[in-house]
Amino acid sequence: MSSDSKNLKDLHFIQLRGSSTVMKLMQHIGMRYMDEHPNIRIPLLAGGTAMGYKSALDGTANIGMASGQMPPNIEVWAHKYKYKIEEVTIATDGLVAIVNPANPINNLTLDQLHDIFTGSIANWNALGKYSGPINVVSHDPQLGTYEPWKRQVAGKDHITLKAKVITGINSLMQTISTDPFAIGWVGTTFLSKEKVKPLAVNGVLPTYQNIKQGTYPIRNELQLLVRPNHHKEVKEFIAYCLDVKKGQAIIKELGLVPVVGES
Amino acid sequence: MNRRQLLRNIAIGAGVGSAALAGLIAYPYILAKAKKELMISGSTAVTRFVALLIAPFIEKHPHVKVSIQGGGSFVGLVTLENGGIDLAMMSRDLNFEEFNLDLHSHLIGIEGVAIAVHPSMNINNVSLAHLNGIFEGAITNWDQLGGPNKKINVYSRSEGSSTRAFIEDVILRGAKFTREAKVLDNAAALSEAISQDPDGIGYLTNKNLSNKVKAIAVDGVEISDKTLLLKLYPLCRDMFLVNKNSASAIATDFVQYSMSDAGQEIFVKNGLTQVSR
């Protein structure tokens, strides 16, 4: 409202764009930051991790948000235009396999997950007392959550081509909660209140402690991406995100594992 | 009968064919002309705001001819990709299918729509689902929302209002406004009407809010510049200008102008939330 936007000339804008997983953190950190820094405004845009890399590289955003590594096509493009960025990890998240609550299976090994997601096991009866086709649900490769799961679960193999590809969390949750034979995966921050069942991997659940201590095997680094020689305001914001008492404390409150402090 | 149909079809075919041929011949001329101009097209909602920049922009660049046209975000984007225009206006970001390393989408402003009631109404929050019910006419009494046992009076804007179109998109999702809604021609009249009706509810862009009405939270989030910037407040619409890598200098100048202090000041005066400077 008008009272909010007086002193237009003193304002600094730090635009962040990309991964919606990281954006969820930034909604909290950004609000606190704007309250503490009245001359800073933080516009957030989603669009996925690929968009995060692209906008940080070409400067359409001040900071890119990413929840996975740089997609190969963007790497080629960045090289061509000699674009460079620095990656700053601000939190670690666990990625968890989710199934319909009707599914009696509670635990799978990493090898079983590999076989499910690459398509070499196609029926639940190969895994336990449950029978029916395994309906694999995959994230769109432009979503950051795709890459770390593919890397850590499928390895050098491909996610099965039979997978249904979703482009957002809502359609993922919708599919898993309505299809008793479906299996997908999601970052742990999206788990609360959802009508889906998370599975343990090798007997370990993705709890805060298990992710922090590294006993839960499938993890994901949440990153901020900046161009070299960024502005003072951007530097200060990133320092805030990494501050044990500020950004890192908010990250912990949200159930993610901070990267700084408490070892 | 059959023959007549056949003849008619041939006639239509010939008509379409010659129109296409004429288009094909004219195309290079249109294209050649376009290169000396700045052509902008896309979302009708964004057009309303971007159009305000043209006069001051031309003042700075007297040799540039700017033409601007609505038609929708998607049409704008396709025309941009085909080389027909220099800048596309979009009221949403590029989606995954449209994402392309050759395209750059720039956020130029955010429009927030507030839900307004009379200041005496003891309701401070409404969910999107309830709003849907209220505007559709399925929820008709304030006591269904925890308020007084009074009939809800819905106020709406006339067809053609882009704020109305926004509410139809985001809240009604294709359903129609209740026929009981009182329709007003402009935001000032709507605000005035609600300020005089203790049981009224309506929608206003951020700019048209005053202390004569009360803006209530939606899904627990109050409307403010901060909640709009952080994507916490649900009734908001991002506005983008999109250009290609190969954009002309004038096109990039225009994008920069829209994001500069001068451009943003015009947007803010007309109700958008500032996003850059």
DSSP B40-88: EEE-HHHHHHHHHHHHHHHHH-TT-EEEEE-S-HHHHHHHHHTTS-SEE
Query: Does residue A56 fall inside a structural domain?
Result: yes
User: Please, how many CA atoms are within 13 Å of residue B133, restricted to the half-sphere of its CB?
Assistant: 13
- Residue B111 CA to residue B267 CA, distance in Å, equals 10
Residue B258 pLDDT exceeds 80: yes
B74, B44 contact by CB (below 8 A): no
CA-to-CA separations, B135 to B54, B121, B173, in angstroms, rounded: 36, 17, 11
A77, A154 contact by CB (below 8 A): no
Top residue of B205, B230, B256 to mutate, by most chain A CBs within 10 Å, is B230
Residue B162 pLDDT exceeds 90: no
Stated pTM of the model:
0.85
CB-CB under 8 Å, A5 with B107: no
Query: Exposed, middle or buried, B55 (CB in 10 Å: 0-12/13-18/19+)?
Result: exposed
Residue B269 pLDDT exceeds 80: yes
Beta-ladder partners of A41: A13
pLDDT at residue A119, rounded to an integer: 95
Write the pLDDT tens digit of every residue in A51-92. Answer: 999 999 999 999 999 998 898 899 999 999 999 999 999 999
Query: Does residue A180 fall inside a structural domain?
Result: yes
Tell me the CATH number at A83.
Answer: 3.40.190.10
A116 and A130 fall within a common domain: yes
Query: Does residue A40 fall inside a structural domain?
Result: yes
A99, A105 contact by CB (below 8 A): yes
* Nearest-by-CA chain B residue for A35: B226
A88, A238 contact by CB (below 8 A): yes
Note which residues in 125-184 of chain A have CB less than 8 A from chain B: 140, 142, 167
CA-to-CA separations, A155 to A26, A151, A159, in angstroms, rounded: 30, 5, 9
Radius of gyration of chain A (CA): 20
- Residue A210 CA to residue A219 CA, distance in Å, equals 10
On the question of a common fold for B2-109+239-269 and B111-229, the answer reads yes
Pick the CATH number of B2-109+239-269 from 3.40.50.300, 3.40.140.80, 3.40.190.10, 3.50.50.60: 3.40.190.10
- Residue A61 CA to residue A165 CA, distance in Å, equals 28
CA-to-CA separations, A232 to A32, A53, A62, A239, in angstroms, rounded: 19, 21, 12, 10
The domain ranges of chain B are: 2-109+239-269, 111-229
Rounded to the nearest angstrom, the minimum Cα separation between A156 and chain B is: 25
- Residue A122 CA to residue A124 CA, distance in Å, equals 7
A111 and A202 fall within a common domain: yes
Residue A48 pLDDT exceeds 80: yes
Query: Exposed, middle or buried, B173 (CB in 10 Å: 0-12/13-18/19+)?
Result: exposed
Write the pLDDT tens digit of every residue in A109-150. Answer: 999 999 999 999 999 999 988 999 999 999 998 888 899 999
* Nearest-by-CA chain B residue for A29: B230
Instruction: Kindly state the tokens that stand for B110.
Output: 């955010």
CB-CB under 8 Å, A43 with B232: no
Rounded to the nearest angstrom, the minimum Cα separation between A83 and chain B is: 13
* Nearest-by-CA chain B residue for A54: B101
Tell me what the mean pLDDT of segment B226-253 comes to: 96
- Higher-confidence position of A121 and A255: A121
Top residue of B92, B105, B110, B231 to mutate, by most chain A CBs within 10 Å, is B231
A188 and A117 fall within a common domain: yes
Query: Does residue A159 fall inside a structural domain?
Result: yes
CB proximity A9 to B under 8 Å: yes
% of chain A beyond a pLDDT of 90:
81
User: Please, how many CA atoms are within 13 Å of residue A257, restricted to the half-sphere of its CB?
Assistant: 22
A164 and A104 fall within a common domain: yes
Chain B positions touching A11 (Cβ under 8 A) are 274, 277
Give chain A's domain count.
Answer: 2
Instruction: Kindly state the tokens that stand for B98.
Output: 């449209």
- Residue A127 CA to residue A79 CA, distance in Å, equals 45
Question: Which of A15, A31, A48 lies nearest to residue B96, judging by beta carbons?
Answer: A48
A60 and A130 fall within a common domain: no
* Nearest-by-CA chain B residue for A142: B96
A150 and A197 fall within a common domain: yes
CB-CB under 8 Å, A42 with B230: yes
Note which residues in 201-240 of chain A have CB less than 8 A from chain B: none
Rounded to the nearest angstrom, the minimum Cα separation between B225 and chain A is: 6
Rounded to the nearest angstrom, the minimum Cα separation between B265 and chain A is: 8
- Residue B272 CA to residue A1 CA, distance in Å, equals 9
Query: Does residue A6 fall inside a structural domain?
Result: no
Query: Does residue A7 fall inside a structural domain?
Result: no
Tell me what the mean pLDDT of segment B169-192 comes to: 93
Q: Give the domain range for residue A136.
A: 94-212
A65 and A109 fall within a common domain: no
* Nearest-by-CA chain B residue for A165: B96
The ipTM (two decimal places) reads 0.86
Residue A229 pLDDT exceeds 90: no
CA-to-CA separations, B220 to A254, B223, B233, in angstroms, rounded: 19, 10, 9
What topology does CATH give the domain B111-229?
Answer: D-Maltodextrin-Binding Protein; domain 2 (3.40.190)
The residue behind tokens 């021609």 is: B185
A207 and A104 fall within a common domain: yes
% of chain B beyond a pLDDT of 90:
75
A132 and A63 fall within a common domain: no
What single-letter amino acid sits at B54?
I
Chain A positions touching B232 (Cβ under 8 A) are 27, 31
Beta-ladder partners of B205: B113
CB-CB under 8 Å, A46 with B93: yes
Beta-ladder partners of A63: A16
* Nearest-by-CA chain A residue for B265: A8
Write the pLDDT tens digit of every residue in A184-218. Answer: 999 998 887 768 999 999 999 999 999 999 999 99
Write the pLDDT tens digit of every residue in B190-238. Answer: 999 999 999 999 999 888 898 999 999 999 999 999 999 999 999 999 9
- Residue B237 CA to residue B46 CA, distance in Å, equals 10
CB proximity B52 to A under 8 Å: no
User: Please, how many CA atoms are within 13 Å of residue A144, restricted to the half-sphere of its CB?
Assistant: 31
User: Please, how many CA atoms are within 13 Å of residue A236, restricted to the half-sphere of its CB?
Assistant: 14
